[in-house]
Amino acid sequence: MITKEKVSGFDVLKVREDFPILKTLANGKPLVYLDNGATSQKPKEVIDVVKKYYDNENANVHRGVYYLSQLATDLYDGSRKKIAKFIGAKESETVLFTSGTTESINLVAQTWGRQNLKADDEVLISGMEHHSNIVPWQMICEEKGASVKVIPINDDGSLNMEVFEQRLNKNTKMVAVAHISNTLGVINPIDKIIEKAHAMDAKVIIDGAQSVPHIKVDVSDLDCDFYAFSGHKMFAPTGIGVLYGKRELLESMPPYKGGGDMIDKVTFEKTTYAKLPFKFEAGTPNIAGVIGMGAAVDYLDKFEWKTIIEYEDELLRYATDKLQKIEGLRIYGTTANKAPVISFLVDKIHPYDIGTLLDQMGIAVRTGHHCTQPLMDRFCIPGTVRISLAFYNTIEEIDIFINALHRVLKMLR
């Protein structure tokens, strides 16, 4: 039973009432959901908006003169404006809708990369990147004769900034880094990375999948060239994401896909393309997802970011302290500047065994390599157990998890 109502003045019990799934049972036990890094749960406000669209507003956008189409278009375009404001983009036309962070990064690699990379150029990524910010760059570099270089990480999980500066050179054309590591929770100094990259005339793309749900992001203040993130990690539906890009870069890039809505004029001899953002949004979009993402922004805008950050920091400190007291447990990613993510191993126990037994007790954690296999290789481990917290998690849930983990370890040792 969750009994503690407020921590740091944050009324978590009131917040939990907004998320219907938190009342469900898992294997007959009250659900303790600690896998927010993989996907977040959705507030009723978002669920209701998506349902309302399908119940009362369903039509295609930008195509019809009739009432429903105009209504759907207004909702769709309105969401783009909300999201642009939410991330500090000065123009809504620089916010492109994709299926998620993965497609956003692929879009940049396959358009900007194909247009700008050549033999002997370099793309600089970090040693903690998600596969979606590694593989697209490997693919386009292989095609163009360019190479991928890596910023190593220190034992505490932080980026080795000294080596970063050494490896940043006149051949570096793109720096691709995560704002927050999905595995370690480390918050990278992307302001410094962007500043130094720009001084070398390199572009920067930031993987913001893990940052947008936890910290206030302002792409204009950061001065990044591209910023990618997903809706489903920020309490919005799955299958919807965003790529922000500077206008001059987006206008210079060729389309990513061909089809309806991204065209200006089509003839059998030649096709001209639509203006931003439609040049990059071929075909019928995920209308319900976009509207749901707008609703998620409305929901998040009800809170003060300072309050969310302080509350999640308190959860992180509490969980870290409890885990550090367990004999044989090692946490990966121990820098002070972290989001509420903890990856750990206990002795030589396989993470899958821990995760499977925790599941039987109603506790959802992530196990495995978390789509960061090179990072696992860096630490010479097969994977970790990961808990990733959100502002609807509680101190009591952490206690339930810790008590269950003690029981699991007694079984496995």
Residue 127 within a domain: yes
Considering the domain architecture, whether residues 314 and 362 belong to the same structural domain is answered as yes
For residue 413, what pLDDT is reported? Answer: 87
Look up residue 251 and give its amino acid.
Answer: E
Co-location of 290 and 310 in the same domain: no
pLDDT at 1: 38
| pLDDT attached to residue 266 | 83
State whether 293 and 314 are in the same domain.
no
Q: Which has the higher per-residue pLDDT, 266 or 220?
A: 220
pLDDT in tens, 155-211: 999 999 999 999 999 999 999 999 999 999 999 999 999 999 999 999 999 999 999
Output the six-digit token pair for 169: 């050179």
User: What are 292-325's pLDDT values in tens digits?
Assistant: 999 999 999 999 999 999 999 999 999 999 999 9
CA proximity to 193, closest of 181, 183, 202, 182: 202
Out of 258, 285, 300, pick the residue that ends a domain: 300
Last residue of a domain, one of 252, 283, 300: 300
Percent of the chain with pLDDT over 70: 98
Does residue 378 sit in the same domain as residue 391? yes
Task: Give CA–CA dist 291/237, Å, rounded.
Answer: 9
CATH at 235: 3.40.640.10
Contact yes or no for 397/32 (Cβ under 8 A): yes
Name the active-site residue from 141, 224, 371, 380. Answer: 371
Sequence-distant (6+) residues with CB within 8 A of 11 are: 5
Average pLDDT, rounded, for the chain: 96
The yes-or-no answer on residue 371 being catalytic is: yes
Q: What pLDDT shows up at residue 8?
A: 59
Q: Is pLDDT larger for residue 257 or for residue 68? A: 68
Can you give the pTM of this predicted structure? 0.96
Q: Are residues 296 and 314 in the same domain?
A: no
pLDDT of 69 over the 80 cut: yes
* Alpha carbon of residue 122 to chain centroid: 25
Q: Are 353 and 227 within one domain?
A: no
Answer yes or no: is 38 within a domain. no
- Cis link prior to 213 (omega < 30° from 0)? no
17 by Cβ neighbours in 10 Å (0-12 / 13-18 / 19+) ranks as middle
* Domain span at 247: 48-300
Neighbouring C-alpha atoms within 13 Å toward the C-beta of 30: 11
